[in-house]
Structure 1
Amino acid sequence: MEMMTMAQHFLLSAASRTLSLRSIYKAGEEAAYRTFCEMRWPENGGEAVCPRCGHEETYDISTRRKFKCKACHHHFSVTSGTIFASRKMDFVDLLAAICIIVNASKGVSMVQLSRDLDCQYKTAFVLAHKLREAMAQEVHTGEVLDGHVEVDGAYFGGHIRPANRREDRKDRRLRIHQTGKRRVVVAFRERHGDTVPFVAKSEADGVELAKVHVDRMATISADEASHWDLLHAGWDVQRINHSEAYSLNGVHTNWVESFFSRLRRMIEGQHHFVSPQYLHQYANHAAWLEDNRRTDNGSLARGLVAEAMGAPVSRQWKGYWQRAA
């Protein structure tokens, strides 16, 4: 009798595991350094190219891991002018941090990351936000979404702790008792495509965002919230009433809800609190993980290194703690 077998989920298969912390530390610092060089200058086989004049011939100052351009005599390193500019962490630890972050399908807390890397909480915090800034380059490419696009919104933050005594408690639904820190993440997701999130103060702001980021020839799926009624003026819109069903005759918003499920678990399960000032970075992180959920972790890590090497110096995070102190 032939035995029935179920197909193994990709994330449970060996194909999803092509990089490990053990292999990173076993290869050592020099191998990690070469990885960053190869991701910074892939078109030149990992050989340095002057970021100032573009000349491909350089002197290698190996004792300092620096380069000197033969044309303009500019001194630079592999991280000069990138999001990792002025870094002090060893390359092997930097690569390990990237491995940990891409392996965490629902995010990793900064306390845990700092313990895994044996570094200060501040170091882990800024490093993770720099990587999220690099992820945002892939998430927000500026391309207009087409095909079939799902749209929805979810509110985060602004929790008001109720008073101890019942007679002292306020109705937290009223505007006068709000903290003003509550924000909504509005997300657009192509079916079998990309997820693009935005942070706004109202879910209704998604209508104006759709005018910029969704092609007029696309079809849209949305729930029965009244503010989505305005979408009918510009698109072919399918609506689903979630009080009756989550999916009906192929009409649903399950793909974008999958993104929100990941983001909620990231914030509630790992970070516990996210400032509205940085909510957009966590949303981009969740979108990056969602869009790359079927990619092996080795490719994810190398891709994130390449994105970081292609990202400019972070104006928000370079010297953050010096400014915040």
Structure 2
Amino acid sequence: MDSPSAPRRGAMQGDDPVLRGVVEMDETYVGGDPRPRNTGDDDAGDDSASGRGGGSRPKGRGTAKPLLLTAVELGGSVHARRIKSHRTDAIAPAWRAWIDPTAQLMMDALPAYRRIGQAHPSHLTVNHSKRQYARTDVDSGERVHVNTAESYHALLRRMVVGVHHWISGKHLDRYAAQAAHAWDHRTRDAATLMSLLARPAEPLPFRALTT
């Protein structure tokens, strides 16, 4: 169950500034496998049936985990939201809302990203399927990667593992906003961060939280 601090998480959903300059886009699946059900048989030796060890659950695009889209401005803010698929029509609304048309995009070779990138004056890609994670662009001399976006994903995963242990797909956007707030304000002083406590937030009824 999501914690009673959900309204505070909602308060961390900021004003969504438009991202400019160099902007990285990437996506990731969020959430671990569910804990194996206890069958009561302490002597059972077959881990594959319980979901341990054998690892029969699909990963990547075959998984049932929720998919998170992230865009981060180098030296600036990060935006993230849950999307339904890797298709252009699922990614485009966030792209239009988040990113200035003049921004330079850096992304992987996902077909939807290539189509979106064509609307920008510059978009550079790396091909993760060919184990290419960073390169120097021959024409511009720029270093191309999505490592900054992946750093945000790492922050979110550590938050889940170290604090929440499990999060629901329904409230993924709230947790992503919490991680984005931590990212955006990582260099602020304590007094500025404490001002979050005075920020108004709509109450989240228990029924809305759990149904």
Would you say same fold, with TM above 0.5? Answer: yes
- Counting only pairs closer than 5 Å after superposition, residues 93-104 of structure 1 correspond to structure 2 as none
Inter-partner Cα distance in structure 1 for 2:180 and 2:209: 29
CA–CA distance in structure 1, aligned partners of residues 104 and 96 of structure 2? 13
Q: Which amino acid aligns with 1:129?
A: A
Q: Greater shift after overlay, 154-163 or 187-196?
A: 154-163
AA in 2 matched with 1:148? V
Matched-pair contact (CA < 8 Å) for 1:150–1:188: yes
Q: Which amino acid aligns with 1:228?
A: Y
Matched, 1:216 2:108: no
Offset at residue 272 of structure 1 (A): 1.6
CA contact (8 A) 2:12 2:181 kept: yes
Structure 2 unaligned blocks of 5 or more: 38-45, 137-141
Partner of residue 244 from structure 1, selected from 132, 136, 142: 132
**Larger RCO, structure (CA 8 Å, separation 6 or more):** 2
State the TM-score, normalized to the length of structure 2.
0.75
Provide closer, same or farther for how the CA distance between residues 211 and 166 of structure 1 changes in structure 2, counting only shifts above 3 A. Answer: same
1:50-71 deviations in whole A, cap 9, x for unaligned?
A: xxxxxxxxxxxxxxxxxxxxxx
Specify the code of the residue in structure 2 equivalent to 1:253.
V
User: Is it true that 1:276 corresponds to 2:169 in the alignment?
Assistant: yes
Relative to structure 1, is the Cα distance of residues 167 and 218 closer, same or farther in structure 2, using a 3 angstrom cutoff?
A: closer
Matched, 1:305 2:183: no
Aligned length: 189
Residue 3 of structure 2 aligns to a residue whose secondary structure is: helix
C-alpha separation in 2, matches of 1:166 and 1:263: 28
Identity of aligned residues (%): 26
Query: What SS is found at the alignment partner of 1:212?
Result: helix
**What are the superposed Cα offsets for residues 69-97 of structure 1, whole Å, 9 maximum, x if unpaired?**
xxxxxxxxxxxxxxxxxxxxxxxxxxxxx
- C-alpha contact (below 8 Å) 1:151/1:188 kept by paired residues: yes
- 1:231 aligns to 2:124 (yes or no): no
Name which of structure 1's ranges 226-235 and 289-298 shifts more when overlaid on structure 2. Answer: 226-235
Question: What SS does structure 2 have at the residue aligned with 1:231?
Answer: helix
**Greater CA drift, 206-215 or 231-240:** 206-215
Structure 2 CA distance, aligned partners of 1:213 and 1:299? 25
- Structure 1 residue 262 corresponds to structure 2 residue 155: yes
CA 1:233–1:129: 2 relative to 1, 3 Å? same
Partner of 2:8: 131
8 A Cα contact 1:160 1:172, kept in partner: no
Matches within 5 A, 1:1-325: 125-126=3-4, 128-136=5-13, 138=14, 141-157=15-31, 159=33, 164=46, 166=48, 171-173=56-58, 180=64, 182-204=65-87, 205-235=90-120, 236-242=122-128, 243-248=131-136, 249-302=142-195, 304-308=196-200, 311=201, 313-314=202-203, 317-318=204-205, 320=206
Pair 1:322–1:275, CA change in 2 (3 A): closer
Conserved? CA contact 2:17–2:77, under 8 Å? no
Give 3-state SS (helix, strand or coil) of 2:150's partner. helix
State the one-letter code of the partner of 1:214.
Answer: I
- RMSD value, Cα: 3.3
Residue 129 of structure 1: CA displacement? 1.1
Residues 247-299 of structure 1, C-alpha deviations (whole Å, 9 max, x = no match): 53421222211211100111122212111111111100000000100012222
Counterparts in 2 of 1:321 and 1:251: CA distance versus 1, 3 Å: same
Asked if the contact 2:24/2:107 (under 8 Å) is kept, the reply is yes
Looking at structure 2, the residues matched to 170 and 289 of structure 1 have their Cα atoms a distance apart, in angstroms, of: 33
Q: Which amino acid aligns with 1:307?
A: R
Opposite residue 57 of structure 2, the aligned amino acid is R
Cα distance in 2, alignment partners of residues 322 and 283 from structure 1: 18
Runs of 4+ in 1 over 6 A off after TM superposition: 167-170
